[in-house]
Amino acid sequence: MLVRAVCVAAALAALSAQERGAGISAGSVAAERLRLMQEKRAWLDALKAKVVPLMAYDIDTLQAAVRVKVVEAYGGASVLSTDPLTEEVAFLGTIEDEFAPDSIFNPYGSYGSPYAAESIWNEYGSYGGAYASSSPFNRFSTSPPVIVKGRKVIGRLTVNKLVSGGLDPAWLRSYFTY
């Protein structure tokens, strides 16, 4: 209860005099916090109900199942970048294990080497690094590379958490390297 009171007091202290005058009170802050907690609890309860059948499996088995699912979903897909100005499409490699020649995870290949011009791992290239507009590592990019499988866009390769369907390249790499 003391922690809750401190949180409410801190929230009120952060409010300007104008905001306090606009009807934002300790009660409304507490009510909103309670509503958010109830919403999160309801979401968690729904998730628990959905995964009840999985609870019989151990963690190693579940991790193996996730690996199989990720490899099935993204294995063999192509990574493409479209220049927003010219609409020119560049092939940036495939999502396969680190031994496939065109894999973005092959550190010796044309698309996985940190020195290759068309590699997402080349931090100084057009498709890599934190600042290139088409880089999956630019956390502000709104035009990161797309993941295409079966002539259909199935996701985007990006660290930008706000991009719908975004997959972190480092996370994806963990499923395709040994």
Q: What is the pLDDT along the chain (178 residues), one digit of tens a residue?
A: 444 544 545 555 555 444 555 567 878 888 899 999 999 999 999 998 998 898 899 999 999 999 999 999 999 999 999 987 888 999 999 999 999 999 999 999 999 999 999 999 999 998 999 998 899 999 999 899 999 999 999 999 999 999 999 999 999 999 999 8
Predicted pLDDT of residue 3:
47
Which one, of 49, 42, 76, lies nearest residue 149 by Cα?
76
Predicted pLDDT of residue 58:
94
Predicted pLDDT of residue 57:
92
Q: Are 74 and 104 in contact (CB under 8 A)?
A: no
Write the CA distances from 88 to 52, 81, 82, 143, integer angstroms.
47, 8, 6, 13
Predicted pLDDT of residue 107:
96
Predicted pLDDT of residue 1:
44
Predicted pLDDT of residue 15:
52
Strand partners, 79: 93, 147
Q: Are 123 and 129 in contact (CB under 8 A)?
A: yes
Q: ∠8-21-31 over CA atoms, to 5°? A: 35
Predicted pLDDT of residue 86:
86
